[in-house]
Amino acid sequence: HSSSQVRSHPSLASGMSDLQMVLSDTTAASAVTGSAIAASYNDQIRPLLDAVDRLRHLKVTQEGIQLPTIVVVGDQSSGKSSVLESLAGISLPRGQGICTRVPLVMRLQDDPAADSPVLQLEYSNGRVVTTTEANVADAINAATAEIAGSGKGISDAPITLVVRKRGVPDLTLVDLPGITRVPVQGQPDDIYDQIARIIREYIAPKESIILNVLSATVDFPTCESIRMSQQVDRTGERTLAVVTKVDKAPEGLLEKVTMDDVNIGLGYVCVRNRIGEETYDQARVEEERLFKYHPLLSKIDKDMVGIPVLAQRLVQIQATIIAKCLPDIVRQINDRLSRSSTELDQMPPDLNNVADAVREFFHILKLVCASLEKILVRSEFDEYPDDSHFHATARIAEMFDRYAKKLPAQIPKGSDQLFLMEEMRVL
């Protein structure tokens, strides 16, 4: 916090206390063992993720501190929403055009004891809305309309969707608007630039893992999402690709994911999209059957296919990047806490009542009067050494001197009108 920020938040001390509490938990969580990182659903991963989520909730990113984040990007109609639905087991907004118009932070939390799922939306400075699986898509649309308007525009203000249910992977992902090159009716002409700016903001930090969703029906090198991720991750070490719609274009897919023409460092996972009215369980059964018996798709390594494999890979990658980044995050937060504490100590005491406020007001008024007296009465400008244009007396003298130098040139030589020139120069 800068000094102005500190002054505008009377509860800063309380907030700093909350941050220090989270920081203590974060330090403990960052001591996760290697075995916890290797396990896909190990209980020790949850404290790591909780610590990062709590830091994100405290908005430490506004202080320039980047948090480990899995960012989901893809061209429009790449199947991005279908992948997220399969991971969470819930339905997200669908339709023509851009369905995701604001960043959607999805916090998936496995709760083995939950009898029924608990879903909450958080947005607009702490507003919390509880919803159900049946109504979550409508709730997201309503929150989006409140933030980005009811049209087809987008916003960079995020919505957080918390999903607590049995069997979901412990993951936090940020779903971003799908990339569209040509605006449709109702969209601003610069819609591509707006989306690209939001995507770059999220994928540029080295702490971000890029989950690039690609349709099997297109050539990967032509995907705009690939071009954007390569701009910030040239080696591909932070990029994992998910290939969707594999049942629609199985020919040549094995070569695509093994040749890797687009440099995907974290590898590929191929998935089948849920079709029609299939339940999520039915979709997983059909997916398993597809990759087991299809004459072409069955040749793809089993470590590269299926939503369960994708979930496992994401949890492992997430735990690794969090464990790697947390020590530096703790150091940065401690540095900022120390500076904020120093600023807080240097501030004058709070005004606790009207009498204190009146006393402070008259003190300020006295200082202002003293300053005006120095300037207007005594012509002392030491309070403004760099603002020479404020010094009226000196400026008038400069103007008079310039006038005295120009005047002789306007009077004919030998004229007796120059008789006061010497006096003017003295003045």
pLDDT at residue 228 is higher than 60: yes
Q: What pLDDT is stored for residue 111 in this prediction?
A: 86
Least confident range of 90-99, 271-280, 413-422: 413-422
Q: What is the mean pLDDT of residues 143-157?
A: 88
pLDDT digits (tens, 9 = 90+) for 121-139: 998 877 899 999 889 999 9
Buried b (16+ CB within 10 A) or exposed e, 275-306: eeeeebeebbeebbebbeeeeebeebeeebbb
User: At 66, which helix (H) or strand (E)?
Assistant: none
Beta-bridge mates of residue 123: 127
pLDDT digits (tens, 9 = 90+) for 14-29: 555 555 565 565 555 5
Beta-bridge mates of residue 239: 210
pLDDT at residue 268 is higher than 60: yes
> In whole angstroms, what is the distance from residue 318 CA to residue 188 CA?
35
Q: What is the mean pLDDT of residues 69-84?
A: 92
pLDDT at residue 157 is higher than 50: yes
> In whole angstroms, what is the distance from residue 257 CA to residue 268 CA?
6
User: In terms of pLDDT, which residue wins out, 302 or 23?
Assistant: 302
> In whole angstroms, what is the distance from residue 393 CA to residue 125 CA?
53
Q: What pLDDT is stored for residue 152 in this prediction?
A: 82
> In whole angstroms, what is the distance from residue 28 CA to residue 330 CA?
11
Q: Domains in the chain, ordered, with CATH? A: 66-312 (3.40.50.300), 369-426 (no CATH)
Q: What is the mean pLDDT of residues 379-395?
A: 64
Q: What is the mean pLDDT of residues 231-237?
A: 94
pLDDT digits (tens, 9 = 90+) for 358-380: 888 899 999 988 888 887 777 67
Number of alpha carbons in the 13 Å side-chain half-sphere of residue 159: 28
Q: What is the mean pLDDT of residues 317-325?
A: 89
User: In terms of pLDDT, which residue wins out, 9 or 63?
Assistant: 63
Least confident range of 81-85, 317-321, 392-396: 392-396
Buried b (16+ CB within 10 A) or exposed e, 409-418: eeeeeeeeee
Percent of the chain exceeding pLDDT 90 equals: 41
Q: How confident is residue 6, by pLDDT bands cut at 50, 70 and 90?
A: very low
pTM above 0.85, yes or no: no
Q: What pLDDT is stored for residue 383 in this prediction?
A: 66
